[in-house]
Amino acid sequence: MPRASFQTKLFLAGISAAVLTLTVAGALFAVTMQRQTNARVEQTLKTEAQIAVELLARAVDTRNNRRSLDAEADYIGALLTARVTFIARDGGVLGDSAEPPEALAAMENHATRPEVVQARESGVGLSRRTSATLGEEMLYVALPATHPTVAFVRIALPLTSVQTQLSSILTATLTALGLALLGGIVIAGVLAGRIGQRVRAIAWVAQRYRQGDLTPPRLDYGDDELGIVARALDDSVHELGNRIQELERDRGRIAAILAGMIEGVIVVDQAGRLQLVNAAAQEMLRIDEAPIGRHYLETIRHPAITDLVTAILDGRTPASLEFTPPRDNTRTIIGRAAPVTAGWPHGVVLVLHDVTELKRADRIRRDFVANVSHELRTPLTAIRGYVEALSEGDTSPDETERFLEIIMRHARRMERLVQDLLRLARLDAGQETLDIVDCDLRSLVQSVFADLAPALEARAHQPHVDVGADAGTAQADPAKLHDVLRNLVANASAYSPEDGTITVATRREGDELAIDVLDSGPGIPDEDRLRVFERFYRVDKSRARDPGGTGLGLSIVKHLVELHGGRVSVRNRPEGGACFTVTLKAGDTTRA
């Protein structure tokens, strides 16, 4: 149901007031007129009754003749245009202008009529009731008579005549009230229209202000109270608009600063209610939504943060604290708290620094240095030992050849290590370029197996290629994809037992193509699966048949696959062994 406008409400209010006023005035006028008419009719009947008494007293031929009395009643009734009844002392009817003489004997005794009883007691009787004889509502007035046989003279007037008089008066009154109401409607409509127009203009300006348009309007609000209020509100809005603009500028600068910070910032007041939480803090603490104004313990349930905030609120200066956020034990955060008094006394600002990547980088750096040192020290120690043995000159030709072969093998191992390190450095620096073409995966996998054939045959490994019907082509750099598959197959061979099977299978997944490299080894423990792609990270050497690799192969695989915009993952197969999956963009299947 649509809501009524202000103009409509004002118009209805004016009409309602006019209707109520005219109704009350009409009702009072009708009641007053009815009372005055009734009083006037009663007084007229009393006067006519007195005249009837005097006329009856002067009649000389109505002493004992009932017919003469009835004729006299008829005469007086016609003279007064009212019903005239002569009543004896015992209540018998001696004459009635409304009844013939023959019917008088059959009329009821009137001694108990209210007007007769009142006339007998007080000299004047007045009553309103329905006549049993005529069946109409009548007004009766009875007076004592000075007549030998007639004790009371009663005058009766039908109230229908009185109602007729009142109806004519009320009709005229209602007509006047209707005209007055019509005039009130016109006046209310005109006034409501003018005021409504002004209110609509003010509402239009308010709507502009609400939409952010604070341009001063060129409107004449008028000089009455409505205009004064409108101008005062207009001035207040413009003043508030200027302040809001200043606050918005300040808030925008603060929001930009907070959004650009990688540190998390949380501000609470002295009661512990959240006042500010930036996006970095929400991401660090896994907060989906920061309920500003509620207690921080309802959102941030961590004892370390509680200790920091409590210490500041108690006036102490705690040291920075290192902790792990809730629901994420893999991250490390350093929190620092300080008091803040701007806006709310004794508040707390908490700054969170995510040092997970720094610690991870530091751990990788330390592991890298240790691993490189270890990987270089082992072949260098061997080379040095065999060179010292050769320098003594007491070795046989066979021993010399064997020593030189060992030195050559360790030198090549060092060369591979240096080459892998240099390649990782180029990948980190973005110096590797791609030559993307549609690669035939079957021929590419077969060439990988051909390159590794001596190592596979040495351990009696069975290579197997399973290329899907619609998964024979991938968009990639053939040389770099060859290096990826060669590292994965070599890794599978190192961890597979003799007579094991190494499978390379391809399958289509929508617009992508997945390459699975499956071995028949012992699989990878859960605690190692997330770290196998780190540099120099090795699964337990006892699980490998040949732990002599550089430890950089899987890291190079990860970098090369990500260079293609793909993904690499590893999982354990239910039937045993590990499965490395490389996901790339699929190529044109018509060339498969």
The CA distances from residue 523 to 40, 517, 526, in Å, are 123, 13, 9
How distant is the alpha carbon of residue 6 from its chain centre?
29
Q: Which of 259-273, 460-474, 508-522 has the lowest mean pLDDT?
A: 259-273
CB 268 within 8 A of CB 350: yes
CB 337 within 8 A of CB 352: no
Q: What average pLDDT does range 39-61 have in this prediction?
A: 80
Pick the CATH number of 261-354 from 2.115.10.20, 3.40.190.10, 3.30.450.20, 2.60.60.20: 3.30.450.20
Strand partners, 335: 321, 352
Report the pLDDT value the prediction gives residue 546, as an integer from 0 to 100: 46
Identify the sign of the CA torsion 157, 159, 165, 166.
Answer: positive
DSSP string, 414-472: HHHHHHHHHHHHHHHHT------EEEEHHHHHHHHHHHTHHHHHHTT-EEEEEE-TT-S
Domain 359-429 belongs to what topology?
A: Helix Hairpins (1.10.287)
CA angle 140, 141, 142 (to 5 degrees): 120
Strand partners, 274: 268
Question: Does the pLDDT of residue 448 top 80, yes or no?
Answer: yes
CATH architecture of 437-591: 2-Layer Sandwich (3.30)
Question: Does the pLDDT of residue 324 top 70, yes or no?
Answer: yes
* Confidence grade of residue 543 (pLDDT, cut at 50, 70, 90): very low
Q: What average pLDDT does range 118-134 have in this prediction?
A: 82
CA angle 110, 45, 38 (to 5 degrees): 110
* Confidence grade of residue 144 (pLDDT, cut at 50, 70, 90): very high
- The CATH class that applies to domain 6-165 reads alpha beta
CB 471 within 8 A of CB 507: yes
**Ramachandran angles phi, psi of 83, nearest 5°:** -85, 130
Helix (H, G, I), strand (E, B) or coil at 334: strand
Euclidean distance between CA atoms 91 and 447, whole angstroms: 147
Question: Does the pLDDT of residue 455 top 50, yes or no?
Answer: yes
Intrachain domains 6-165 and 261-354 with the same fold? yes
Domain edges within the chain: 6-165, 222-260, 261-354, 359-429, 437-591
Strand partners, 440: 473
Q: What average pLDDT does range 194-210 have in this prediction?
A: 71
Report the pLDDT value the prediction gives residue 105, as an integer from 0 to 100: 78
Burial zone of 216 (CB within 10 Å; 0-12 exposed, 13-18 middle, 19+ buried): exposed
Between residues 581 and 330, which one has the greater pLDDT?
A: 581
Helix (H, G, I), strand (E, B) or coil at 67: helix
Q: Shortest CA distance to 473 belongs to which of 501, 511, 426, 499?
A: 511
Number of CB atoms found within 10 A of residue 96's CB: 25
